[in-house]
Amino acid sequence: MDKTFTLDELASFTRNEKNLLEELGLKKSKAKPSKTSIQNILNFSKAYSNRPSKIIGRIEHVIN
């Protein structure tokens, strides 16, 4: 028969697991993009054009 765990046991397990992951360096860090990357993406979106065309379907164009 499977063992039934209490809420306190599960909370303790979670805390211990979190501590072990931090000690081993396996905890995922919350990385975020740099401001330069964000600006590059925003500038590309300003230069990008995607329009419908009756003859060839869609026209994609990047203004340089």
How high is the pLDDT of residue 29?
A: 66
For 40-62, the DSSP string reads: HHHHHHHHEEEEEETTTEEEEEE
The token duo for 60 is 């994609």
Query: What pTM value is reported for the model?
Result: 0.44
Residue 30 has pLDDT above 80, yes or no: no
Q: Tell me: the pLDDT tens digits for 18-28?
A: 888 888 877 77
Domain ranges of the chain: 33-64
Element at 53 (helix H, strand E): strand 48-53
Residue 46 has pLDDT above 80, yes or no: yes
